[in-house]
Amino acid sequence: MDYKKLLADTVILQDVESSEIEPLITVPKDPAMGDYCLPCFKFAKEMKKSPMALAQEIVSRIGAYNFLEKAEAVGGYVNFTLNKKMVASRVVEQVLTEGIGYGRSEEGAGKTVCIDFSSVNIAKPFHMGHLLNTSIGGALCRIYRSLGYKVVGINHLGDWGTQFGKLIVAYKKWGSREDVDSRGVKALFDIYVRYHKEAEEDPSLDDEARAWFKKIEDGNEEALSLFGYFKEVTMKEVERVYKRLNVTFDSYAGESFYNDKMQPVLDELEEKGLLELSEGAKVVRFEGDKMPPCLLVRSDGATLYATRDLAAAVYRKNTYDFYKCLYVVAYQQNLHFQQIFEVLRLMGKPWAADMVHVAHGMVSLQDGALSSRGGRVVFVEDVLNTAVSKAGKIIAEKNPDLKDRDKIAEQVGVGATIFAMLFNSRIKDMVFDYDKVLNFDGETGPYVQYTYARCCSLLEKCVSEGDDFDDEGIANPEAYALVKALEKYPESVRLAGEKYEPSIVARQVVDIAQAFNKFYFEHNIKDAAPAVRNARLALVGATRQVIESGLTLLGISAPQRM
Ligand code: ARG
């Protein structure tokens, strides 16, 4: 229901179209001021009247409408209070008829959004930073799909670079197939860390590493087979985590995919006179040196991360003709993406304006910062396992007879972890604290899941009788606050897409859960008169639906019992 439009039409002002009034109508912060308000200051100034007098004048001219309970003039504002019963029954009915479709839209029909996210590095740990990234990217993929966009989820694998020469040297010196087969990336990471320590003492290792990387480039069989093995080991582990996180990709075109796609881009840069020689290297310089130059070819002829990203951008535009291309990557890479986007702009690509760096912050555990240097790093899989085992303990205490306890512990533990990644604005750094994210009474995944299970069990235990429906049952302040929270859900999904901010959905779902629990504690459902109970059960059903839709968008399971 477009209440702003309806309300704008009730306002009669000489020489003012309702289309000028509509955008001024907002939702007051304090619900006691009504559902909507119209500030009269702008019109009052134009009409040389006092805002208070104008508000009163407007109110005196508003006729009777069945959707409007009252309109009041308060200090230069017109406050509108809607007919609560009507709003409540409409929202509930809409949610129940649209079901999973409530909150979806077609705004993106015919448009493609590329979302580059997770983008893990071969032979490197899947650490907490990637968890944040993967959770945000996965949620954005689902949010955009629900808004009607075609989404291409891209895992721009870090599968190229001189570090693979180093890893081969390390593996040949200190690694073993047995160890890597059993400990996976942890084994690879250990020897990689060891390499860096030893290379400080013995720089000749770096020459060996360079030689091995050259062999990879030249297609040497042994080098390729080792490289392939590292990739396989990494992907096996990473896929295991993706499965638990409910995340999938449409493309795994990683850095190595662009090996043969960089030259044409470099040629184009050369033709356009953008490539400059600088001590043997090739760079693009920016006007007034507003940013450091973007290094694209090193003096030894090697290409870089940035070179591959340029080629990838051009490839994505040609292949998917995207409407937008998002990069969900930590803010440490701000400069990198500013450079890439600016180089594309200088190349005269109008679509450079459609590239967005969706930057996010850092995650640390309570006991200190995480870094992948020096080997101190926290693996996502370990964090998930810990969260699941802690969730299992809490569930065992709360509900000892629960069936499928392991499965539900997995859903709650993993759900709590993802929820924690998505609840804060993405740009903020965060400290991950198991007790906090698993708190069943906090602004957490388990709290929302628990509320969902409560809705499910209510609907199982109380059945509606007859078709009598007393709207009064859902027009009390607690029910109405819940209705308003449900009503806001579609807009929060739309905004989350517009701002690349899944936290807007996560927060809305928490608001709904909180409003539901207030309603539930204040108002009896089971023993209410049948018509009132029917109305309240419908509201419970609508709440269950919207929480489920919201959790699904975030990539979190909604167990019916817990
Ligand atoms: N693999 C990179 C890293 O872990 C992230 C890649 C992001 N995507 C991109 N197209 N540059 O830092």
Per-residue pLDDT of 73-115, as tens digits, reads 999 999 999 999 999 999 999 999 999 999 999 999 999 999 9
* pLDDT tens-digit map of 399-424: 999 999 999 999 999 999 999 999 99
Instruction: Inform me whether the pLDDT recorded for 373 exceeds 60.
Output: no
Do the beta carbons of residue 357 and residue 136 sit within 8 Å? no
Q: Decide: 133 in ligand 1 pocket, CB within 6 A.
A: no
Which residue bears the tokens 């104008």?
54
CB-count exposure of residue 369 (10 Å: 0-12, 13-18, 19+) = exposed
Nearest residue to 445 via CA among 399, 412, 489: 412
* Its pTM surpasses 0.75: yes
Q: How far is the CA of 148 from the centre of ligand 1 (A)?
A: 27
Measured from the Cα of 121, ligand 1's closest atom is 1
Cα separation, 151 vs 289, in Å, equals 36
Cα separation, 543 vs 562, in Å, equals 18
Q: Decide: 187 in ligand 1 pocket, CB within 6 A.
A: no
Q: How far is the CA of 200 from the centre of ligand 1 (A)?
A: 27
> For residue 444, how far is the Cα from the chain centroid?
16
**What average pLDDT does the structure give for the chain?**
94
Q: What distances in angstroms separate CA 195 from CA 181, 259, 378, 379, one per listed residue? A: 20, 26, 20, 20
Q: How confident is the model at residue 372 (pLDDT cuts 50, 70, 90)?
A: very low
Pairing state between β 355-360 and 324-330: parallel
How many other C-beta atoms lie within 10 A of the C-beta of residue 324? 18
- The C-alpha angle with vertex 158 and arms to 190 and 184, in degrees rounded to 5, equals 35
Mean pLDDT of the 105-128 span:
95
Cα separation, 199 vs 131, in Å, equals 30
Instruction: Please report, in angstroms and rounded to a whole number, the separation of the first and last CA atoms in the chain.
Output: 35
Do the beta carbons of residue 223 and residue 212 sit within 8 Å? yes
Looking at residue 465, what is its pLDDT?
Answer: 81
* pLDDT tens-digit map of 449-465: 999 999 999 999 998 88
Q: Token pair for residue 199?
A: 């290379």
* pLDDT tens-digit map of 502-528: 999 999 999 999 999 999 999 999 999
Helices (H) and strands (E) in the chain, counts: 21, 12
Q: What distances in angstroms separate CA 398 from CA 29, 402, 410, one per listed residue? A: 37, 9, 16
* pLDDT tens-digit map of 264-323: 999 999 999 999 999 999 999 999 888 999 999 999 888 999 999 999 999 999 999 999
Which residue bears the tokens 């960089």?
262
Q: Decide: 329 in ligand 1 pocket, CB within 6 A.
A: yes
Q: How far is the CA of 119 from the centre of ligand 1 (A)?
A: 5
* pLDDT tens-digit map of 150-166: 999 999 999 998 899 99
Q: Decide: 355 in ligand 1 pocket, CB within 6 A.
A: no
Q: Decide: 327 in ligand 1 pocket, CB within 6 A.
A: yes
Q: Decide: 156 in ligand 1 pocket, CB within 6 A.
A: yes
Q: What is the CA radius of gyration of the chain?
A: 29
